Every structure is written in C-alpha cells, then in structure tokens.
Structure 1
Amino acid sequence: MYSNPLNVEFGDPYILNNEDDTYYLYGTGGGAVDGFATYSSTDLVNWEFQGQVYKGNTEDSWAIDAFWAPEVYKFDDKYYMFFSAQWKNNPNNELENFKIGVAVSDSPKGPFEDLQNQPLFDPGYPIIDANVYQDEDGKFYLYYSRVAYKHPVESEVAEWARDKGWFDEIEESWVYGVELKPDFTGVIGEPVLLLRPPKTMDDKNAEWESRSVTSKEVNRRWTEGSYTFKNKETYYIMYSANFYGGENYAVGYATGDSPLGPFTKADNNPVLEKNTGKGGEVTGTGHNSLVFLKDINKIYCVYHGRTKSSGDERVVFIDELKIKDNGRLVVEGPTTEPIPKPLTNE
C-alpha cells in the first residue's frame, strides 16, 4: 500500500520508464538550480534523488531563467529533454520571454546538454509546456502552450468580468500542435491551434475553466500542460486550466481523429480537481502526464497538487486513470488514503 502525496516536491511531474525497470521522475524545482533534477524509483512510490541533470543560465546557454516542465523521451538510444525557459535574446525586455529548448544525453541521469544554443523555434510569442508524441507512422509532434502574457481575448466571460468592474480584459493561453523535425532541431509547417478556453458561458467546459476569473483571482484563463496519447483509434489530449498557483487548477481532456485534431473537449471534464468541497485536503491539481504499465494493463496519472501540510509547495501525486468502454477518461483521484501500489495487480 501507499498514500499520496509522494515525498517529492516537484511541479509539472513527468515519468520516464526505462528498460531496466527503473522509472525516472522529472519536474519543475525539486532541488535543481537554474535547471532540472531527477529522482529514480523501481515501484513508482519510493523515489531516490539522483541530482541535477541539466543546468542552464551559463555563459554559453540560451536559457537564463524560469526553468519549467521538463519531459524526457528515449529515441534511438539517446535521451531527449524538452523544457521551457526564459530566452536571453530579449531586446524588448519582455517579462515573459519563454521558449522551448531541447537537450540530449546518453543517460536518463544526464548530464543533458543543449542540442543547439538556441530555442527549438520562435513562433513570435512566448511558449511553455512542451509535450512530444510520436505517431504510428514515425512522425513526431510537439504540443505547447502559448502563454497568456499580452494575449487579451474577447469572450462572454471577459465581457461578464468587465461588466462587474473586476477586470478590463482577460488574457488567455492556448494549446498548439506542430510537426517536429525528426532530428529535433526545428519544426515542420505552421503551428495549429488545438485548444482554447470556451468563448461562451453556456459551453459545458466554461464554468470549470473560468474559475480563476469568476473567483476574482486573476484576469487570465489558461489552457496549458498538455499531454497527448492514442488509445485504439482515438487521440486524447489532456490539459490543465486555471491559475497553477491557486486552488482551482484542474485537468480536462479532449479527443480527435488525428495528432493535430480537430479536438473536441469531453463533457465529463474536469477529470481531476480539488477535493476540499468533499471533505478532502487537496487543491491545485494539474499539469499531468501518464505512465502506461503494459504488463498489468494499467495507466497511472502523475500530477502535482497541494495539501494543507505542503502549503505553497507543489507535491507529486500518482493515481490510476481508467479508459471506460465509452472512451471516457476517469482519474481516480486525488487520493490521500492508503491504496494498493501501482505495480500490484489489484
């Protein structure tokens, strides 16, 4: 048995399953300075700190600050880390100048070195939260979030907030997808808009995706932290909405017939959210990834959240995700009570 949260203070957790039955956990923070660290585990519950595996903010580095959301993939015996950071090329002194970089290593424990001394690409606006998916035809796709910074969008929610005298405008972050070059040195074609906050207040997803605005928390709506996978013939893209530093951070998903959509948001969203309204103590659940345990035919959702004891620190949770016969996703969490360990077939 085990119970959440795990003893790791990470935001934006991502788990790599290596061939030697060892799992590696990466995320934002977790003891790293100007970069990223990793933890290892053989049971997905007990994690051992392996040290810092990537360091930026050096004399030769393009990335200088705000090292966020690393994800590591193994392709052709090499390990590739996709991550977000502030770009030092900032002639207009923008407060948010985030771009996505790629670093490579021969080991999941690093050291990871920048593939090139520049971001992966520059779409003309700040971007974060890289996620990579390789389709069955071998093509690679990058998913990312355009941040809300200087991106005001008109919607019924924005009009409502303005009428109440709360906010003059509502900025939004949107999720895009684009094909990746197979050597990960750039992208192919133009990014495609995949997900954005609902335009109308009667949309089934408008209520939960707008809570940071309707609670008067902040004048932003987010669609970020995406994670894409395929089950049978359906492509799923999971995403997080609301302020990552607040209690309303939550996870939903959408489905489509191709890697670049179009995607339709599910009507049972959110599939992961705070449980304080039900007597629990978990808030701020979001930015998830998945672990596929093929030997026992189980899927686990890895995400961060906060509890009363963790305070402002984000800690890691892992709970089972099930795909129902009708294709709906259900995350059995957030949990804090003792439950069977993930690698047990119970």
Structure 2
Amino acid sequence: MAVCSVIYFGGVQAVTAEEIYYNNPIGNMTDIGDPYILKDDGKYYMYATSAPGVGFLVWESDNLVDWEEYGLAYDHMHSDLWATGDFWAPEVIKHGDTYYMSYSARNQEDSLRIAIATSDSPTGPFVDANPDLIADEGSYIDGHFFIDDDGTPYFYYVKDNYENIVDGKHVSHIYVQEMANDLLSLVGEPQFLLEPDHEWEDPNGDYQWNEGPFVIKHEDRYYLMYSANFFAGPNYAVGYAVSDNPMGPFEKSDTNPILTSDLSKGISGPGHNSVTKGLDDETLYIVYHIHTDPNNPSGNRRPAIDRLYFEDGELKVDGPTTDDVQLK
C-alpha cells in the first residue's frame, strides 16, 4: 500500500516521496512455500516452492509489497527430465553477470537431490548446469549460497530426514561446504553444523527437522538462520546460531525461537526464511511463509515479511505482524 506525503508551501500543494506500507501476508499468492526474494537493480524478484510438478514461478515487484506474477522461471519440461517432481525451495543469486538458482527435486531413484541452474536474467529461463550437486548418496534439500567478503563462496544445505535415519529416528542435519568459484560444484569436505537438539525443536520425535539455512554476516560474525519442526504444523518456527567462521562451529542462541506462531494475529507456522533489504538498501527484512489457513495448517502457505535487526549481538525480528507497517 502506497501513501504520498503532502506539504503546503504558501497554499501550494507539493507531493513528497511515496510512503509504502505493508501488512502480512504480502501479495495475493497462495499455495506456495519457502519464499526467497532477490533484490537486483532496484527490483525485487520472489521465487518459491510454487509449481511442484513442473518447476518454479517468479514474481516481480518495485516495492517489496505489490507483486505481479511473471511466469515460470524454471520449467523442468524443457530439461533432460532428471527429476520426477517435488520441486522445492528455489534460491537465486547474481554472481558476475550470471544468475544461479539452487533447488531440490526428487530423482528417478526417489531421492531428493540438489541442482544448480543458470540464466542471464532473474526471470529466467533457468537451465540446469549441474543437476546433481552433492556426490554423497541420500536426500538433500534447501541449498543456500553465501559469498563471504573475501569472495569465497560457501554452500549450506540439509541432509533431509527422508533418508537420514539416526538411532531409528528420521533426522535432518545442516551442512556447509566450500564452492568452486563458478558456483557449479563443491570443493573440500562437508562440515556438519546443526541438528535438532533444543527442546523447542522436538529432539526426541520420530521425525526431526533443522532446515532452511540462511546466513547473514554482521560485525565479522556469521548468523545461520534455520527452521525447525514440521513445515505443515503450527510449531514450525525460526531460530539462529552464531559462529566466528562460515564453516562453524555454530552455537544456537538461547533466545530461540525468534519467530513463532501467533494465532491471536492469525499467524501459524512462520518459517523457511530468506533475508532481503528494504527500499533504503539498509533495513533488513526477513521473508518467510505462513499457513494460508492458520486454523488448518498444511502445505498451502503465503509469504510474509518483517523487520530484522541486531541488538547487542543478538538477532531479533519485529514480528510476526499483521498491522500496517511502514516499509523502510
């Protein structure tokens, strides 16, 4: 929602800069998940789990609030058909003049695998450049690119509990690995980072989740955000861990979770977040999904945003909100 400020000079009306307000959920898209927003050349592009049997839609916005669907950014029907479905959690970054998409999908052997696709445009079409990024067997999801200040690229990802069984329980683990400079392959050995081990993450359940990694750097420290619990349940929530090194070890915050359900506001299951900057290119916003029907949580979700900030070394969220909030 946009509002123009009006100032009067000697009876003459002058219109100043436009003020943008939002209230959650943003946009009119439903039945999506895992929203990722790329800010590029003054425009915003949103990618999400959105066309599970085909690929991924992309939406465009000039102000982070009003969104228009562009179409399919990635269409698997135009590839070698390595996957059978379950196209999840796309993330896109620009590196040099190329846009890189990480996504996961289910292969012919029924394992979830991570692929890298590239394009010369943020809207696509993205074409597979490496359809099987991780050499190890198993199911892997939720790839996240992070390029450090010195130019070293890292890739965070999840060994999914679909196949990862520990002591008879299905457990998701978060790993990190260095990437080659072309962002098309991994180098070195994977480093284990996180597992569900705090009470709010249900560490004794038959199925356990730490997933959706996203890293931001602040004052030479690395903040690894993640989601825990079942994405289609009301306990899905966001926490974070901190390290002095992008390869870890990471220590989870005692203030977790930092973003949780608030049914009094109609917010259920906030999670699988990314982070983007506001119109001022300074203010940080957490981008996350919530259940479309908070009283009946499911895989049908909608995007939301709220301000993200640091206070005394701790990561905090002004939310979840549903009232009108001015966008910075």
Are 1:267 and 2:254 matched, yes or no? yes
Q: Which residue of 2 aligns with 1:142?
A: 155
Following superposition, the deviation at residue 254 of structure 1 comes to 0.3
Q: Which amino acid aligns with 1:177?
A: V
SS in 1 for 2:190: strand
Question: Which SS does the other structure have where 1:284 is aligned?
Answer: coil
Give the Cα separation in 2 of the matches to 1:47 and 1:129. Answer: 24
The 1:314–1:139 alpha-carbon spacing in structure 2 relative to 1, beyond 3 Å, is same
Q: 1:3 to 1:170 in 2, by over 3 A?
A: same
For the residue of structure 2 that corresponds to 1:272, the secondary structure is coil
Contact 2:276–2:286 (8 Å) recurs in 1: yes
Q: Which residue of 2 aligns with 1:25?
A: 46
Bigger mean CA deviation after superposition, 104-113 or 329-338: 329-338
Cα displacement string for residues 291-324 of structure 1 (whole angstroms, at most 9, x for unaligned residues) = 1248363110000011437953200000111111
- Maintained 8 Å contact 2:63/2:279: no
What is the SS of the residue equivalent to 1:208? helix
Deviation at 1:245, TM superposition (A): 1.0
Change over 3 Å in CA distance of 1:194–1:71 after alignment to 2: same
With normalisation by structure 2, the TM-score equals 0.88
1:35 partnered with 2:55 = yes
Is the aligned partner of 1:230 residue 2:217? yes
Do the aligned residues in 1 keep the contact of 2:53 with 2:85 (CA within 8 Å)?
no
Is the contact made by 2:278 and 2:284 (CA closer than 8 Å) also made in structure 1?
A: yes
Q: Secondary structure of 1:46's partner?
A: coil
Contact 1:58/1:64 (8 A) holds in 2? no
Partner of 2:90: 70
Q: What is the identity percentage for the equivalent residue pairs of Structure 1 and Structure 2? A: 41
The residue aligned with 2:314 is 328
Amino acid at match of 2:144: N
- Name the aligned partner's letter for residue 76 of structure 1: G
Distance 2:62 2:29 in 1: 15
Residues 198-240 of structure 1 deviation map (CA, whole Å, 9 limit, x = unaligned): 1xxxxxxx22111893xxxxx2110100001111110010000
Give, in angstroms, the shift of residue 82 of structure 1.
Answer: 0.6
Alpha-carbon deviation of 1:247?
0.9
Q: Which residue of 1 aligns with 2:170?
A: 171
In structure 1, stretches of 5+ residues that fail to align are 155-168, 199-205, 214-218
Cα offset for 1:175? 0.2
Partner AA of 1:196 in structure 2: E
State the one-letter code of the partner of 1:333.
Answer: G
Distance 1:211 1:180 in 2: 30
Which residue, 274, 279, 282 being the options, matches 2:267? Answer: 282
After TM superposition, the score normalised by the length of structure 1 is 0.83
1:111 aligns with 2:125: yes
- Counterpart in the other structure of 2:5: none
How many pairs are equivalent?
Answer: 304
How far 1:256 moved relative to its partner? 0.2
Specify the alignment match of 1:301 in structure 2. Answer: 286
Partner of residue 132, structure 1: 145
Secondary structure, aligned partner of 1:251: strand
Give 1:4's aligned residue.
Answer: 24
User: Could you tell me how far 1:150 is from its partner in structure 2?
Assistant: 3.5
- Displacement, 1:59? 6.5
Question: Matched residue of 2:135: which SS?
Answer: coil
- Contact kept in structure 2, 1:32 and 1:52, CA below 8 Å: no
- Asked if 1 retains the 8 angstrom alpha-carbon contact of 2:156 and 2:177, the reply is yes
Q: Secondary structure at the match of 2:325?
A: coil
- Cα pair 1:211 1:248 within 8 Å, conserved: no
